[in-house]
Amino acid sequence: MRNKITNAISDFFFEYETPRQVLVRNRRVGVVCRLIQLGVLAYIIGWVFIYEKGYQSTDTAVSSVFTKMKGVGYTNVEGVEKVWDVADYVFPPQGDASFVVMTNYIITEGQSLGKCPELPGKHNCTSNTDCEGGSFKRSMTGICDNTTKTCEVLAWCPVEDDHHIPEPPLLMSAENYTLFIKNSVTFPIFGVTRSNLVEGIDAHYISKCLYHPEKSPLCPIFKMGDIISLSGFNFETIAKVGGAIGIVVDWTCNFDLDVRHCKPKYNFHGLYGNPDEKDKARASVGYNFRFARHYFEDKVQKRTLLKVFGIRLDIIVQSLARKFDVIPTLTAIGSGVGIFGVATVVCDLVLLYLLPKRQFYKNMKFKYTDTHGQEPDSEAGSTETETHK
């Protein structure tokens, strides 16, 4: 027993095992093997390294966005002239990455809390029994107005009439408003901070430039009409009932190159709606909300109600930075070397199970021994393994 243990330990430390390879001269199998290996090599080089850039590590940015609108609008409704500036048509006014620019509206002036009849066509009635309180959204008094044949309600009076949306939009001048976007991104893993005001974008350039996808692709000032057209919509159509547009600031950077090559690209998308203007069956079209300005007149609280139709702008920052790294490179190479084993597996299957001489190749590949009732000879301490190449 002691000798066996000593021999086992000696074999473990002082013997080396290596597989014996069998060279098979078969054109079909050789061609299959090389084709598979070429396919794996093309996959590793083309897909893993060139397309997916598996030799680089990646990072996404921490981003902040600041916006500023400029432009003045003018309306003349029934002889009433009004000038609209940024404080009037941008909601909210803080310069967020998401805001609404008013392009159309329905105004109801001089509303005060009281009792008044509903509009014709809403809550019609023939008697007071048709106006029981709590039956509808508004608080009804239970009285049927004999003049309008509608229920009396407790509300801000006169009630809003939003049946007819102004056409053309009242603030068509919004097409000429300009939007300034200031965006800063930081890639924490790589320790790089960039702004969309890149090299060459100074105060003098900004004072004269206007974004154009080909002539001025880095200008951070955008004309509203251009934003809408680049997103695939017609300005007058979307201005009438409102809509939502996404401005995507895309930071796709390769820090194996100089950091100055890391520059933003702008894309424009309609976030909902149909730019082909063919979808007439939807239940809700456009974007609108109500906004009230309250005031006192003769110690009576009153308000001016605006149903605002506007274009909601969402500034969306997308980022992906890459840089060479040893660890993903070694991982990609190791994975590729492992995939090369597929060629051996496939060729072995062809040799051992599909070819007419499969039994011959089987005998060449494997060595069978019968050790029952036999003492190990002088070569018993070694193991011979034959594999196919």
Q: For residue range 64-84, what is the model confidence (pLDDT) as tens digits?
A: 999 999 999 999 988 889 999
Tens digit of pLDDT for each residue in 301-325?
Answer: 999 999 999 999 999 999 999 998 8
pLDDT score at 385: 40
Binding residues for ATP: 68-70, 178, 288-290, 307
Q: Which two tokens stand for residue 128?
A: 């007071």
Among positive and negative, which fits the CA dihedral 122, 128, 129, 133?
positive
Q: For residue 115, what pLDDT band results from cuts at 50, 70 and 90?
A: very high
Matching residue, tokens 């660890």: 327
pLDDT score at 86: 93
pLDDT score at 388: 41
Tens digit of pLDDT for each residue in 198-217?
Answer: 998 988 999 899 999 999 99
Q: Give 254's contacts (C-beta < 8 A, 6+ positions apart).
A: 56, 261, 262, 321, 322, 323
Binding residues: 68-70, 178, 288-290, 307
Q: Taking a C-beta distance cutoff of 8 angstroms, is the pair 105, 307 a contact?
A: yes
Matching residue, tokens 């105060």: 203
Report the alpha-carbon distance of residue 196 to residue 217 in Å, rounded: 11
Cα–Cα separations (whole angstroms), residue 321 to 57, 98, 318: 8, 25, 10
Tens digit of pLDDT for each residue in 116-174?
Answer: 999 888 888 888 888 876 555 568 888 898 888 999 888 999 999 988 999 999 999 99
Q: For residue 387, what pLDDT band results from cuts at 50, 70 and 90?
A: very low
pLDDT score at 134: 57
Q: Taking a C-beta distance cutoff of 8 angstroms, is the pair 388, 351 a contact?
A: yes
Q: For residue 274, what pLDDT band results from cuts at 50, 70 and 90?
A: low
Pairing of strands 300-324, 56-59: antiparallel
pLDDT at 292 over 60: yes
